[in-house]
Structure formats: structure tokens, C-alpha cells
Amino acid sequence: MKGFVGRHGRGVLGLTLAALVLVAAVAAPLLVAHDPAQTDFAAGLKPPGTPGHPLGTDQLGRDLLARVLYGARVALFIGVCCVLLTALVGGLLGLLAGFFEGWTGAVLMRIADVQLSFPFILLALTINAIVGLGLRNIIVSLSVAGWVVYARVVRGEVLSVKERDFVHAAQALGLGRARLLFRHVLPNVAPSIVIVASLQFAQFIVAEAAISFLGFGVQPPTPAWGSMLSESRDYLYVAWWLAAFPGAALALTALGINLVGDWLRDVLDPRFRV
């Protein structure tokens, strides 16, 4: 039992945190009576503990708890979309580039190199500033900036997997290339895709918040944690709770997902085990 706690304790903690965020996102309308966009100018900037507003209200009198809970929806939605898009596109490109070495693969990896020679957050920010603001565009920007990691990792894995005996055997048996690729190579690189996805998930959510914080990305009045933090800066002297709670929600979400990611890596990839 002690061994289980030692090895899986952090995974359990991470899963618990992630599950809490998921519940907050899915059940937000059931958990709070307030609409996150409902303004009440008579009740602006009320501190936490005010009856009816456990976390207080913002400058427009909107209920902070409702906004933080609905913010989980925005964060998870963006995170999930980005992870699915990048895993699909990056994974597929990496798979093809590794399986069919040749000039297309080489060109692809050059593009990946160029992209990796630029800080991720700055790249996503620049793309977002140019393609435009809003929920859809932030997903596009983060995905365009993030696919290379999968392509790199998957390609490397494929290069080694395809030289293994069982692949040669399947090839000798006369299997088609598509079948070889998707039935024999893909399952063997899938754990890497899952690991990268779990580690990228939190990065996407934090990057989205950072970009929205800078004034790009998701725009008010959508209750996104990043733009809430951005607005809170103007009230830092009078209302600390506007900065404290959305940020804490963001940090706990990232923590939960990171812990799950670390744990998945330990369990799925024996090479990383100490």
C-alpha cells in the first residue's frame, strides 16, 4: 500500500484536481445561481464572504465565483481543442515524416527547426496578434505554434520503431504500407503521443491565459482567467480577490494536469523510470 501511495500518490492528487476542474466546468450552472455576465452596479467590488457572493464581486458587480467556475469551461475547452488539433496534425505529420524518409520529411523537420528557434509564447502571441482576437483564433494560434513538438517526438520514435523486428516481419508477410503504419507502428508510438499531450495540455492553458492577460486572445466579457487577471490589475490596490482567485484556479488546474502528465510518463514509459 505504501508503495502504491509512493508511486501513484501524485497521480491520484493530480487526477483529483483535474476532476475538480472538470466538475466545475461541466456543472458550473448547477453550482452557482449567478450568471457570470450579470452586472449589478450597486454591488461592485464586494469582498469575499459577502452574502450571496462567496468570492466577492468584480468592478461591475459580477459574481466572482461564477466567473471563476465558468472560466474553467473556457480554459478546458481551449486546452482540449489545442491538444486534439496538435496531436492529430503534429502526430500524423511526424508519423509520415518518420515512415517515409525523403525530402518531404526533411522539409517538414526544417520547418519544425525554424519554429523551435523561436520562443513558444512569443510565436503564439505574434500569430494571434496578426490573425485576430477571439476564442477560435487563440485556438488556431496556439495550435500552429504547438504542433512541432509532436512532429519531432513522433518522428524520432517512428524512426526507431520501424527498424524493429516485428515491423520487418510484418513487412515480409506482405502487409500494405497503410496497415503497417497504423496497425503496427502507430500503437507503439501512441504512448509518446499521450505523454506529450498531457504535458502540453497545461502549457496551452497557461499560454492562453498569458496571451489573454496581455490583451490579445479571449476578450471580455467572456469569463477567461487570463482576461480576468488582466482586468484585475486596475483594481489591485482595492480588490486583491479579483487577482487572487482566477489565478489560483489557473495554477491549480495547471498543477493537476502536470501531476497527471508526470504520472503518465512514469507509468507508460519505462525509460523515464528512476
Partner 1 sequence: MRAYLLSRLGQTLLVVFLSLTAVFFLVRLGGDPVLLFLPMDIQAKDLNEFRQRLGFNDPLALQYGRFVGHALHGDFGESLRYKNDALQLVLSRLPATLALAVAALGLTFCVAVPVGVLSAVRRGSLVDFLGMTGAVLGQAVPGFWLGLMMIYLFSVRLGWLPTGGMGSPLHFVMPCVVLASFYAARMARLTRSSVLDTLNEEFVLTARAKGLAERIVIGKHTLKNSAIPIVTLAGLDTGQLLGGAVITETIFAWPGLGRLTVQALLNRDFPVVLAAVFVFSVTYTLINFGVDLLYGWLDPRTRRRA
Residues within the interface to partner 1 (CB under 8 A): 10, 110-111, 113-114, 117-123, 125-127, 129-132, 202, 206, 209-210, 213-216, 229, 232-233, 236-237, 240, 243-244, 247-248, 250-252, 254-255, 258-259, 262, 274
Nearer to partner 1, 100 or 272 (CB): 272
Cross-strand bridge partners of residue 121: none
Is the CB of 141 or the CB of 161 nearer to partner 1?
141
For residues 146 and 82, is the Cβ–Cβ distance under 8 A? yes
Q: How far is the CB of 100 from partner 1 (least distance, A)?
A: 23
Query: In the structure grid, which three cell numbers stand for residue 220, read together?
Result: 471580455
Q: How far is the CB of 24 from partner 1 (least distance, A)?
A: 17
**Counting Cβ atoms within 10 Å, is residue 204 exposed (0-12), middle (13-18) or buried (19+)?**
buried
Q: Which is nearer to partner 1, 14 or 162 (CB)?
A: 14
Q: What is the dihedral of CA 190, 196, 198, 204, to 10 degrees?
A: -140
CB of 11 to partner 1, least distance (A): 12
Residue among 138 and 161 whose Cβ is closer to partner 1: 138
CB-count exposure of residue 134 (10 Å: 0-12, 13-18, 19+): middle
CB of 107 to partner 1, least distance (A): 11
Q: Name the DSSP letter for residue 163.
A: T
